Amino acid sequence: MKSLGIIAEFNPFHQGHQYLIEKAMKDTGSDICVAVMSGNFVQRGTPAVADKWSRAENAVKNGVNLVVELPTVFAGNSAEYFAEGGVGILEGFGCIDTIAFGSESGDLSALLEAAELLNTHHEEIHEKIQILTKQGHSYPKARQLAVQELCPEFDENLIKEPNNILAIEYLKQIKTMEPYTLKRRGYGYHQSATLIREEMREENPEKFQRIDRSYWELVGAKILQSDSKRLEEIFSAGEGLGNKLKNEIRYVSSTEQLIERIKSKVYTYSRVSRLLTQILLDIDEQAVLGSAKYIRILALDDIGAKFLKEVKKKECAILPILTNINKELKDCPQIADTLDKDILATDMYNIITKSDLYDYSDYIMKPYIEI
């Protein structure tokens, strides 16, 4: 059974996802599509528009055969860690043949060359970025300047677009899978997830206003409860962000207002937004750098079930496979801390969305099976 892997958020699932899956499956001759999907909080640092179980079910109903969770410590992080988690889980099956992803470039050779250059000069680029950020540049700008200086032959346009950046990070992580990229067709072809989310808000403004308010109350309370030192230890903090949050919290009444007051040339909107979710879930350096990977099943169809059966029969998976954490967690103590963040994320999401804390708990919910 030839297999294709993708990394996605499905926030929500849209035509662009469908196009990538169908085209990549056809071009690579794959029999199954396995998706690693963000959980209840997404990379941009907000609660997802629907819970992870619903989004996984919807993906399976639209052509994905198996959906597994990208742990929260990776999902709510920068492109580097998002890619590390997603690629690591796909390769953790031990038998995924191809990884597919969209990119603005669509040129796999150029992206591979860029990934190789960035890997080769990783230490020098990292040191240069640290110097440039201390001089007042944002991380994205510092990275661009560092790459331009250390790798003059590098096409800087490849690290200006978000999907190119993610594509390069995927390629830097890949060890066993064949990469496949598809040029994104743009807004003229497929409605973007951003536009769909905006439409959802317009159709049900009261619901999303309640969610925004609940999220703000939880985040605001956590900031007020934490001292500056602890806030500074949260993974996306540093450089005085803890103090700045404590100083600004009393002047705002929403997460949007707080982000607007904090963001600057150095502290990008995305970084501050992710930081707020990391504060809520207490994700510090140890939680990220000491994280463990696992294959947690969220939804599957009969093809996905057959694939899983083959994986178990061949014993090719190098990561634990979880379908019922009440039973399996006892045999995998090494993943407990990372899994605890997923469980906490679900609990917080349920509070935010006014969902029952018991019925929708990670201890109670079971994978969706499409028959």
Binding residue ranges for ATP: 7-20, 102, 163, 184
Cis peptide upstream of residue 12 (ω within 30 degrees of 0)? yes
Helix (H) or strand (E) holding 145: helix 139-150
Q: For tokens 């992803």, name the residue.
A: 101
Task: Please give the DSSP secondary-structure letter assigned to residue 47.
Answer: B
Cβ atoms of 9 and 40 within 8 Å: the answer is no
CA-closest candidate to residue 341, choices 279, 272, 274, 282: 282
**Rounded to an integer, what distance in angstroms lies between the CA atom of residue 86 and that of residue 7?**
6
State the Cα angle at 7 between 112 and 138, rounded to 5°: 65
State the Cα angle at 153 between 165 and 158, rounded to 5°: 20
Work out whether strand 66-70 and strand 98-103 pair parallel, antiparallel, or are unpaired: unpaired
Structure tokens at 302: 């009969």
**Rounded to an integer, what distance in angstroms lies between the CA atom of residue 230 and that of residue 238?**
10
**Rounded to an integer, what distance in angstroms lies between the CA atom of residue 244 and that of residue 228?**
9
Radius of gyration of the chain from its Cα atoms, rounded to whole angstroms: 20
**Binding site per annotation, positions:** 7-20, 102, 163, 184
Task: Give the C-alpha distances (Å, rounded to integers) separating 369 from 100, 199, 291, 306.
Answer: 24, 29, 28, 12
Structure tokens at 46: 């907000």
The phi, psi pair for 296, rounded to 5°, reads -105, 115
